[in-house]
Amino acid sequence: MSGQPNDIHIDDIKTPVLTPMQKMVIDGFAGVETEFSEEAVLGEAAKRTGLSDFGPDDFRERLTVWCQAVDEDAELGPMGKVRFFGDMVRYAANRLRFHDLMKRHPEILDVEIQKPIIIAGLPRSGTTHLVNLIAADTRLRSLPYWESLEPIPDPSVAAGPKEHDPRYQKCASEYQMLAQIAPLLKNMHDMTPDHVHEEIEVGALDFSTFLPEWLAVVPRWRDYYYAHDQRPHYAYMKNVLKALQWLRGPSRWILKSPQHLEQLGPLIETFPDATVAITHRDPVSVVASAITMLTYGDRMRRTKVDPPAVAAYWSDRVEQLLRACVRDRDLLPASQSVDVLFHEFMSDDIAMVERIYDVAGLEMTSKARAELDRYMTENPRGKHGRIAYDLRGDFGVDPEELRKRFDFYYERFPIQAEV
């Protein structure tokens, strides 16, 4: 991929050269044993929260598949295993707190989520920038990263400003630590505590999401996920969003997740009055960006870095996402959907938001425009420096050969090639 003079190329993708900090962190996890079982995960979650009611038991089968799948990933290192186990415990603990809140306040189920704006699109296709830009409009409710990690507060902790919330403080501390361990991640996907995150993070309380695929090589889970109707899990996610809306407003949501691209049917059935904006970008650029970010992280979480294997898996995965999008795009009513072409979005960000607002029936007020303009000023593109991608050199992938796999997608949408 051609780049700008100041672009950063990660020149040790294939043979990582670890920093002293990275070596110290990896050494700190050496010898740590992790038990991947339903009993271990749920036991730790119960211990952490002091609660025991996980709600409907059907999630246990999915949790067991997660455990089996990660156990089968022979090259996931100690740090990667601890991270995966920690996420499962966190989701289980969040589930406990969610069902505890629902028992105490059953009126939450009466909360209405009306006319959300939902962004779908490939990872690395502008979804993050678009959701954060729209979330700058303070009329809308969004899901900041710190809140997504622990959506239901501990009832024993007094409510107050977010800066005093232990969840926010924990997230901020982890962000600072991550910046030292993997400094280039912020150039690719800067996960600040206030960064707007994906609602499938709270949907993961039901243990049905493609999130595990980003943490480990888990084909068993991928196949299980594909074989099951996701509508019940989207309904569960909607109930968690109701709880979050009940805890604090505003009441109109701006949401996003790349997973929605292959779940457009469940998405629109769950949110029938939603406005859905689908981002479209050259999938070759998407693959280059995604696999570079993933492989950069693999130096910490895996015992072996295998760029060609990462490229092969995610080329397949992106194709699956896009084939589902082409198959199901017309399930979305034309009056409730917008196709966001990446090159048009990048040429005039605010104009694209205005198009989405027109479809959503949301007025672009002077206050909203000022908030969006402020966000753009404070968050220029390449704020931390841009990463230059080299599919052929780093991954052994010919961009033009890869592009041929996506002919069906280029035929459906007028996307500009970038690589």
Q: Which domains does the chain have, with CATH numbers?
A: 8-153+162-412 (3.40.50.300)
**Burial group, residue 381, by CB count within 10 angstroms (0-12, 13-18, 19+):** exposed
Q: Cα 388 from chain centroid?
A: 22
Q: For 14-33, how does the pLDDT look when each residue is reduced to its tens digit (9 = 90+)? A: 999 999 999 999 999 998 99
From the list 161, 25, 131, 141, the residue with the least C-alpha distance to 356 is: 131
CA distances from 265 to 207, 261, 271, 275 (A): 19, 9, 10, 14
From the list 5, 14, 111, the residue with the least C-alpha distance to 308 is: 14
Q: How confident is the model at residue 84 (pLDDT cuts 50, 70, 90)?
A: very high
* Rounded distance between C-alpha atoms, residue 11 and residue 356, angstroms: 39
Q: Which residues lie below 8 Å from residue 316, measured CB to CB, with a gap of 6+? A: none
From the list 154, 139, 241, 140, the residue with the least C-alpha distance to 200 is: 241
Q: Quote the crossing angle between the two packed helices 366-378 and 349-360, to the nearest 10°.
A: 140
Question: What's the token pair of residue 227?
Answer: 């074989």
Mean pLDDT is lowest, of 125-139, 163-177, 347-361, for 163-177
* pLDDT surpassing 80 at residue 383: no
- Give pTM, 2 decimals: 0.95
| Helix or strand (DSSP H, E) at 140 | strand 140-141
* Rounded distance between C-alpha atoms, residue 181 and residue 175, angstroms: 10
Q: For 322-346, how does the pLDDT look when each residue is reduced to its tens digit (9 = 90+)? A: 999 999 999 999 999 999 999 999 9
